[in-house]
């Protein structure tokens, strides 16, 4: 896992470590790591044009000391002073190494000609929009043809939340110190970071439990079937989806479950979606049911339920959602089922695990918030939802977040804009439901499902031999790429 800590915890760990170190040693560790990354990014250090955008705090000091190290290796280093002061020790070291300091008026020419720019304007303590001249300097850096390296966090990005209010640096590489910060992993801030390089400065023993974690492939691997496995031991998922009006969601959700490792998929709905699922996925066991609680017994034994995609939001749909949530089995609720829950939150008071998979608009209805505010502060709102709703909450979007009260928030690292197409959420529901039926806890099933879902979309878009393909994809393409995504986990 990659671990991320909010700013207050990082500051406390830094204070504890600095109390045991000689004065200035921690800053020198950070500067050495920053300079090493910058040196690797340059074709050659000697003669390179390096520009430092330096604020008056410790972040500016890190940039100045790193610039001094590059200057001693022959780089031509110029610091642009953004505020009324600079870190005294850092500017002294830069000048002693042959670097120079200038004001913001020289920034347009300098950034336009730079091979590399180090953003040391604000650091992890910066909140709210950038003021001038910082905002203009951030825009100049972002438009520069040179490589832009952010020091700890791109200026203008809230390190603890990923909020971006106004101008912010768009970095090619972000060098962060000691631990990741949540804002480096969560959009919109994550989109400003480029590649994130973590430099160990010795904070580990002083850091508490993380606030946010992001998985590596080995962290999301579903359980493998053993020699004695059969379809029941692998997990039977029951799906209630689709209706006479919305049938595609039913087919896609069932497909996600079929290719998601379920031992068996039991699909139940009105006659027309049942016929379509039976034709497309003959592996699924299908049942035509009426929207009544007692009808669930006709579906057969399952280990988990998925309810909601294409189900409708009227009284009949509500009856099915209420019936499923009245069982003692894990339940995943998506799409129309979430709309029902927005007016029937009482149904969430149940002893068994519940996994909700809303996008921002659906979450807004569930917790009575504004959609735009949710999209701007995704971490804050998914944590609030997990606290208010007795459920695990998977917030879909540019960064998918999974929250459960009392646990670090999971961030999915495989998301791609290619998933912004109709039906992909239905595929995720079936996939995560299959993992839930296979015995994974709700938080793990949601995280693994999101990881595999994003990976499948990338594979479908790029093809197996290309890392950055740009082909458009459909929801069905994601389903067909799921076996390759499972294989890619190793």
- What CATH number is associated with residue 32? 3.40.50.10260
444 marked ligand binding residue: no
How many domains are there within the chain?
2
The mean per-residue pLDDT over the stretch 189-197 comes to: 96
pLDDT of 477 reads 96
Q: Evaluate the CA torsion angle 411, 415, 420, 424 in order and state its sign.
A: negative
474 marked ligand binding residue: no
Q: Using the 8-state DSSP alphabet, how is residue 185 labeled?
A: T
Pairing mode of beta strands 195-199, 212-214:
unpaired
- pLDDT at position 200 over 50: yes
292 and 165 housed in the same domain:
no
189 marked ligand binding residue: no
The mean per-residue pLDDT over the stretch 190-201 comes to: 97
129 marked ligand binding residue: yes
149 and 225 housed in the same domain:
no
- pLDDT at position 32 over 60: yes
pLDDT of 398 reads 85
480 marked ligand binding residue: no
Average pLDDT over the chain reads 94
pTM of the model: 0.92
152 marked ligand binding residue: yes
pLDDT category at 266 given cuts 50, 70, 90 is: very high
- pLDDT at position 288 over 60: yes
Please compute, for residue 41, the number of CA atoms within 13 A of its CA located in the half-sphere on the CB side: 26
Structure confidence by residue, pLDDT tens digits, 243-263? 888 899 999 999 999 999 999
Question: From the centroid of its chain, how far is CA 440?
Answer: 20
Angstrom CA distances, 259 to 89, 305, 432, 478, stand at 59, 16, 11, 10
Q: Any idea which residue has 């850096």 for tokens?
A: 141
396 marked ligand binding residue: yes
Compare 214 and 292 and report the one with higher pLDDT: 214
Q: Which residue, 188, 214, 240, sits at the end of a domain? A: 214
171 marked ligand binding residue: no
pLDDT category at 229 given cuts 50, 70, 90 is: low
Q: Which residue, 164, 187, 214, sits at the end of a domain? A: 214
pLDDT of 470 reads 66
300 marked ligand binding residue: no
387 and 483 housed in the same domain:
yes
Cβ atoms of 434 and 261 closer than 8 Å: yes
For the chain, counts of helices (H) and of strands (E): 18, 18
Question: From the centroid of its chain, how far is CA 428?
Answer: 15
Query: What CATH number is given to the structural domain containing 447?
Result: 3.40.1190.20
450 and 377 housed in the same domain:
yes
Q: What percent of the chain has pLDDT over 90?
A: 88
Cβ atoms of 281 and 255 closer than 8 Å: yes
Q: Which residue, 186, 214, 242, sits at the end of a domain? A: 214
- pLDDT at position 213 over 60: yes
- What's the CA gap between 427 and 30, in Å, rounded? 44
The mean per-residue pLDDT over the stretch 23-44 comes to: 97
61 marked ligand binding residue: yes
59 marked ligand binding residue: yes
111 marked ligand binding residue: no
230 and 120 housed in the same domain:
no
127 marked ligand binding residue: yes
- What's the CA gap between 4 and 68, in Å, rounded? 29
249 marked ligand binding residue: yes
313 and 426 housed in the same domain:
yes
124 marked ligand binding residue: yes
329 and 398 housed in the same domain:
yes
137 and 280 housed in the same domain:
no
60 marked ligand binding residue: yes
235 marked ligand binding residue: no
400 marked ligand binding residue: yes
126 marked ligand binding residue: yes
Structural domain range at position 12: 2-214
183 marked ligand binding residue: no
201 and 224 housed in the same domain:
no
pLDDT of 225 reads 75
206 and 247 housed in the same domain:
no
159 and 244 housed in the same domain:
no
- What's the CA gap between 448 and 170, in Å, rounded? 30
pLDDT category at 466 given cuts 50, 70, 90 is: very low
Structure confidence by residue, pLDDT tens digits, 99-134? 999 999 999 999 999 999 999 999 898 888 899 999
206 marked ligand binding residue: no
The mean per-residue pLDDT over the stretch 326-346 comes to: 97
The mean per-residue pLDDT over the stretch 327-350 comes to: 97
248 and 192 housed in the same domain:
no
The mean per-residue pLDDT over the stretch 407-431 comes to: 95
pLDDT of 469 reads 54
């Amino acid at each position: 896992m990659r671990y991320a800590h909010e700013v207050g915890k990082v500051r406390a760990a830094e204070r504890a470590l600095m109390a045991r170190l000689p004065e200035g040693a921690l800053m020198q560790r950070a500067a050495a790591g920053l300079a090493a990354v910058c040196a690797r990014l340059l074709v050659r250090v000697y003669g390179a044009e390096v520009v430092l955008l330096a604020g008056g705090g410790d972040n500016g000091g890190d940039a100045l000391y790193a610039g001094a190290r590059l200057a001693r290796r022959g780089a031509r280093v110029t610091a642009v002073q953004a505020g009324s002061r600079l870190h005294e020790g850092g500017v002294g070291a830069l000048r002693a190494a042959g670097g120079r300091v200038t004001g913001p008026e020289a920034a347009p020419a300098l950034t336009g000609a730079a091979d590399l720019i180090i953003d040391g304007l604000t650091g992890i303590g910066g909140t709210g929009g950038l003021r001038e001249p910082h905002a203009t300097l951030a825009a100049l850096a972002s438009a520069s043809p040179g490589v832009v390296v952010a020091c700890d966090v791109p200026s203008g990005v809230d390190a603890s939340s990923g909020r971006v209010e106004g101008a912010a640096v768009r970095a090619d590489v972000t060098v962060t110190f000691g631990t990741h910060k949540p804002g480096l992993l969560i959009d919109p801030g994550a989109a400003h970071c480029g590649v994130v390089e973590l430099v160990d400065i010795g904070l580990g023993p002083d850091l508490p439990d993380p606030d946010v974690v992001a998985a590596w492939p080995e962290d999301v691997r579903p359980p493998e079937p053993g020699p004695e496995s059969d379809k029941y031991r692998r997990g039977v998922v029951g799906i209630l989806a689709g209706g006479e009006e919305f049938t595609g969601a039913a087919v896609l959700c069932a497909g996600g479950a079929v290719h998601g490792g379920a031992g068996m998929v039991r699909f139940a709905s009105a006659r027309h979606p049942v016929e379509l699922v039976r034709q497309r996925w003959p592996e699924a066991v299908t049942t035509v049911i009426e929207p009544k609680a007692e009808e669930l017994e006709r579906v057969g034994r399952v280990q988990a339920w998925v309810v909601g995609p294409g189900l409708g939001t009227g009284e009949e749909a509500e009856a099915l959602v209420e019936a499923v949530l009245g069982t003692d089995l894990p339940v995943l609720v998506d799409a129309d089922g979430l709309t029902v829950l927005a007016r029937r939150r009482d149904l969430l008071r149940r002893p068994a695990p519940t996994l909700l998979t809303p996008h921002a608009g659906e979450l807004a209805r569930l917790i009575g918030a504004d959609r735009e505010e949710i999209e701007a502060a995704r971490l804050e709102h998914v944590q609030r939802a997990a606290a208010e709703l007795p459920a695990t909450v998977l917030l879909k979007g540019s960064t998918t977040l999974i929250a459960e009260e009392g646990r670090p928030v999971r961030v999915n690292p495989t998301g791609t804009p290619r998933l912004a197409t109709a039906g992909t959420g239905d595929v995720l529901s079936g996939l995560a439901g299959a993992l839930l039926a296979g015995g994974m806890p709700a938080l793990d099933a949601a995280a693994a499902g999101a990881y595999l879902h994003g990976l499948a979309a990338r594979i479908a878009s790029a093809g197996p031999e290309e890392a950055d393909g740009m082909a458009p994809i459909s929801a069905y393409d994601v389903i067909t790429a799921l076996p390759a995504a499972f294989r890619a986990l190793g």
